[in-house]
Chain A
């Protein structure tokens, strides 16, 4: 799942999800979560930026339109108050607008005429200008001519270094051939402040909205992907032997995946069963002829029967060894198996006490009811059957078996007897001896090789010691299936 889990050196353990910011906001890489969150976040940021720009732009524009209306009003008043005298000069009567009378009030007007060099000369101005001029950009006359009477708006610096919005319009007055330019200006600092405030509010609101959306996306991804995490945990459970199959129902999109996993588990099981059956058939096919040879040789004295007996024993050992190898290979593919140890101990005790009943051997076994082995029943039977049978063979009267969990997913099974035991210097050899080629008596020997082989296949351990009952003590560490 998270990028780091896959490359770990130990495929047995599934790394817990990393609870760091990096998991969600690091480079998208191989994480679905990050990919989804990144995509959504980029889209949200772009959409909100566009919205913000549009809103603030529209607000400023509508403010300017309102100013424009005030300015064209003023221009109209000035036009009405202006008369062209017969001598060609202009007379501007009083304009009845208090703000244009008060000096530096922030509202101004001016009347200008084009000069021969293509510039504008101011011929009258509002008292409020207090002798200063309204700024006239160099290109204004040209633009006015092109506009043919329409109003041109521009920004300029006015008295007291205030920003002004200025409107200018070129008009034709009755009784005069040369055009006259009427201009009105107004302080725009109020609407600038308004626009500024509106922008601040807007961006703040959009920022909050954006953060909210990202959080929502994040939650959605987390909740949306939860079935995937849950499926991952179930698969881990199967691996650990806590479950045999994927049991939960998942959303439509991943239910097929869960079903495929189950089908794979079934297929696995079938393959293993088939392999085991083949192996069993082979054993059956080989062992009966071996029995015949052994019995035939046993009934006659001489060197040839001796050799047949010896070779038969070797063949039997070879068959056993390779059958175990084949079974171990099949076993490695098994998942999700769980075998309660108390059941197996009970079966074996019932059986072996009957077999060794003539010698009065008793098996005292103790195991918690809820303790289970993570693996196949047949294998646990094989391991414990060989160990307890061996203990029964050597015991005088008693065999003791006790099993208990040790934590960390392991359990310990101790098998001891009150027989003669095994000297310390022979224990190592007893464990290492894989198959005894010189073994001529079937059923004798310690029978430990299969126990060691199987236990190791399950990641467990076998150690030998001496029991306080006098005999051999075999200490077995095996994996537990968690409840």
Chain B
């Protein structure tokens, strides 16, 4: 497994490099944002550990660039500030997990293992519907290359609609496929989630077919190839 460690503090980098190597990773190290972006863009890493406070280009911008360029490598961010606004900004940029400094090395290793397991689990083809794109491997979706921020229910809803695009899907069918056994199985809540999903992907993409259900279609002018 190849890991890219992006950290500007010399001592912390040395320690983490050692710990990661001991855990069996092949470690590359970048000490600033520019180098990190270059390495992440050119080398096929399995996971990236990214400190947010970096010289030259800050971590959030580096992450944003990778994601915009279509890199879906799982990224764990390290933040010293620990404020939720920083964490949220990191996730908006496309992070998969975070750790607040100071942290225990074991905790970091455990998180990395979880990230690798997650990305290795599912392997299926990318779905598209017009400018909409959904990558089940990374559990990410985008419109025109712009990453979407979806909750897991919204993601499952979109996944299901994309797998059955062009077909009218009833509320009952959605309820059955989206909810667990013990979830509040209220078909009104489907409307709430469809509403939220519409806000994020564009309202016209999900068509309401009166009395029948919903249908996902590409916008006029977009090709519908899968």
Q: Which residues of A contact B (CB under 8 A)?
A: 280, 283-284, 287-296, 298-299, 312, 316, 320, 346-351, 353-355, 357-358, 362-366, 377-378, 381-382, 385-386, 397-398, 441-443
- Which one of B53, B82, B139 has the highest number of Cβ atoms from chain A below 10 Å of its Cβ? B82
B153 touches A362 (CB 8 A): yes
- Tell me whether A287 and B19 are in contact in the complex, defined as CB-CB below 8 angstroms, given that A347-B91, A358-B117, A386-B84 are known contacts: no
Q: Is B143 an interface residue (CB 8 A)?
A: no
B80 touches A287 (CB 8 A): yes
Residues of B within 8 A of A397 (CB): 180, 182
Question: Which B residues from 82 to 135 make CB contacts under 8 A with A?
Answer: 82-85, 87-88, 91-92, 96-98, 100-107, 114, 117-118
Q: Which of B8-16, B23-31, B36-44, B213-221 contacts A (4 or more CB under 8 A)?
A: B8-16
10 contacts between A and B (CB under 8 A): A284-B80, A291-B12, A295-B105, A320-B82, A346-B151, A350-B149, A350-B150, A351-B88, A357-B139, A382-B84
A442 touches B118 (CB 8 A): no
State the CA gap A129–B156 with chains docked (Å).
126
Residues of B within 8 A of A348 (CB): 84, 88
- Specify which of B15, B91, B118 is in contact with A295 (CB 8 Å cutoff): B15
Apart from A291-B102, A382-B83, what 16 extra A-B contacts exist at CB < 8 Å?
Answer: A280-B81, A283-B81, A290-B102, A291-B9, A292-B9, A295-B12, A347-B149, A349-B151, A353-B152, A355-B96, A355-B97, A363-B151, A364-B184, A377-B85, A398-B180, A398-B182
State the CA gap A292–B103 with chains docked (Å).
9
State the CA gap A443–B150 with chains docked (Å).
25
Residues of A within 8 A of B225 (CB): none
B105 touches A299 (CB 8 A): yes
Q: Is B196 an interface residue (CB 8 A)?
A: yes
B87 touches A385 (CB 8 A): yes
Question: Which B residues from 137 to 173 make CB contacts under 8 A with A?
Answer: 139, 149-153
Interface string of B30-72 (1 = CB under 8 A from A): 0000000000000000000000010000000000000000000
Quote the shortest CB–CB distance from B107 to chain A (angstroms).
7
A351 touches B91 (CB 8 A): yes
A287 touches B88 (CB 8 A): no
Nearest residue, chain A, Cβ from B10:
A292
A284 touches B81 (CB 8 A): yes
Quote the shortest CB–CB distance from A131 to chain B (angstroms).
116
Majority secondary structure of chain A interface residues (helix, strand, loop or mixed): helix
**How many B residues have CB within 8 A of the partner chain?**
44
- Specify which of A292, A358, A381, A386 is in contact with B118 (CB 8 Å cutoff): A358
B107 touches A294 (CB 8 A): no
Residues of B within 8 A of A386 (CB): 84
State the CA gap A443–B3 with chains docked (Å).
24
State the CA gap A6–B100 with chains docked (Å).
47
Residues of A within 8 A of B88 (CB): 347-348, 351, 381, 385
Nearest residue, chain B, Cβ from A290:
B102
State the CA gap A443–B104 with chains docked (Å).
10
Residues of B within 8 A of A290 (CB): 101-102
A316 touches B81 (CB 8 A): no
Q: Is B1 an interface residue (CB 8 A)?
A: no
B183 touches A442 (CB 8 A): no
B151 touches A350 (CB 8 A): yes
State the CA gap A292–B8 with chains docked (Å).
12
- Tell me whether A355 and B82 are in contact in the complex, defined as CB-CB below 8 angstroms, given that A298-B104, A299-B105, A363-B151 are known contacts: no
- Tell me whether A442 and B87 are in contact in the complex, defined as CB-CB below 8 angstroms, given that A280-B81, A358-B117, A363-B151 are known contacts: no
- Tell me whether A346 and B196 are in contact in the complex, defined as CB-CB below 8 angstroms, given that A378-B84, A378-B85 are known contacts: yes
B118 touches A357 (CB 8 A): yes
Quote the shortest CB–CB distance from A309 to chain B (angstroms).
9
A350 touches B91 (CB 8 A): yes
Quote the shortest CB–CB distance from B156 to chain A (angstroms).
9
- Tell me whether A280 and B91 are in contact in the complex, defined as CB-CB below 8 angstroms, given that A357-B139, A363-B151 are known contacts: no
Quote the shortest CB–CB distance from B19 to chain A (angstroms).
7
- Specify which of A284, A294, A320 is in contact with B103 (CB 8 Å cutoff): A294
Quote the shortest CB–CB distance from B163 to chain A (angstroms).
20
Quote the shortest CB–CB distance from A340 to chain B (angstroms).
13
State the CA gap A292–B13 with chains docked (Å).
9
A295 touches B85 (CB 8 A): no
Quote the shortest CB–CB distance from A463 to chain B (angstroms).
22
- Specify which of B81, B106, B118, B183 is in contact with A298 (CB 8 Å cutoff): B106
A296 touches B53 (CB 8 A): no
Quote the shortest CB–CB distance from B41 to chain A (angstroms).
22
Residues of A within 8 A of B98 (CB): 355
